[in-house]
Amino acid sequence: MSVTLVSLWTSLRRRFEAVGADNPVTDARMLIEAGAGVSRLDIVTDPYRELSTEQLAAVEALVIRRERREPIAYILGRKAFWNIELAVGPEVLIPRPETELLVETALDLLPSNAPARVLDLGVGSGAILLSVLAERQSAVGVGIDKSASALETAAANAAALHLDGRVSFREGDWTADGRFDLVLSNPPYIRSGDLAALAPELHYEPRMALDGGEDGLDAYRAITCALPGLLGPNGAFALEVGEGQADAVAEMAEVVGLTLMPHRRDLQGIARVLAGRGAG
């Protein structure tokens, strides 16, 4: 029996439901598009179009990966975030929707069009830093990461977005040389002991980008210690935090003399971004 776009969509949706993937309808559609080289419009307007053997084989190769719970972003090699699209691979954390709150906070902290130096500690794919630079034409950025392969991906993303003239990337460990107007970070914050129980998809992601140590707060200890030396006059910072971590991180920031703003909550009501300024 011939396989049509709509019959394939239905059967893939069922296969993804059976393995407990959380977006079976969208995942099925995206893998048909990527594997068979058809558009979303083709699927909707021409649902009874038949697929060739070659198209079916190409889709199946992607489907098998998703059934093993590889994240859809790694299979497609890209992820939309804020107003940009990023290339992503297993060397970088996949940008999360809640991290857009960090970008929103960063843009509020940067007066539009004034020149500014922005630092992103643990830059990964470049999602945060490149989103901010794309919206603030007079800003320049530095991205730091411990992973050389992550830095290569971030640099490729910067070039693809024509932002490479305003950003540089260096290897480092929660600190940098120089002073900045804005320091941003979404560090690893999951407790080491919680990692094993996470959704299978997270095991494809770099452990270095998720593992926050025994209490999940290791990176915040390093970052809050470094912040006073990184902030220029009237410099600001914004950090993403995990659920239930805002108070502990706020205390670390206060101990080193930083001034805090009220934390910001994500769409689920979780205190997600902690922002503030240097001593002055």
- The answer to whether 105 touches 240, Cβ cutoff 8 Å, is no
Rounded to a whole number of angstroms, the minimum distance from the CB of residue 269 to ligand GLN is: 15
Query: Looking only at residues 57 through 96 of this chain, which bind ligand GLN when binding is defined by CB under 6 A?
Result: 96
∠ CA 138-151-230, rounded to 5°: 55
Rounded to a whole number of angstroms, the minimum distance from the CB of residue 211 to ligand GLN is: 8
Nearer to ligand GLN, 21 or 32 (CB): 21
**189 interacts with ligand GLN by CB under 6 A:** yes
Nearer to ligand GLN, 96 or 117 (CB): 96
Interface segment toward ligand GLN; rule CB under 6 A; list 23-31, 113-121, 182-190, 263-271: 182-190
Interface segment toward ligand GLN; rule CB under 6 A; list 167-175, 176-184, 188-196, 229-237: 188-196
Rounded to a whole number of angstroms, the minimum distance from the CB of residue 161 to ligand GLN is: 22
Closest CA to 115 of 81, 145, 139, 84: 139
Nearer to ligand GLN, 32 or 94 (CB): 94
- How many Å apart are CA 94 and CA 202, to the nearest integer? 9
Closest CA to 163 of 135, 183, 182, 184: 135
Nearer to ligand GLN, 32 or 73 (CB): 73
Nearer to ligand GLN, 53 or 268 (CB): 268
Nearer to ligand GLN, 14 or 207 (CB): 207
- The answer to whether 16 touches 68, Cβ cutoff 8 Å, is no
**190 interacts with ligand GLN by CB under 6 A:** yes
Phi-psi region of 108 (alpha: psi -120 to 50; beta: other; left: phi over 0): alpha
In total, the chain counts a number of residues equal to 280
| Residue in the block written with tokens 């993937």 | 21
The set of residues, in sequence order, having a beta carbon less than 8 Å from that of 80 and lying 6+ positions away, is 86
The one among 24, 141, 143, 188 contacting ligand GLN by CB under 6 A: 188
Residues at the site binding ligand GLN, with contacts judged by CB under 6 A? 96, 186-190, 210
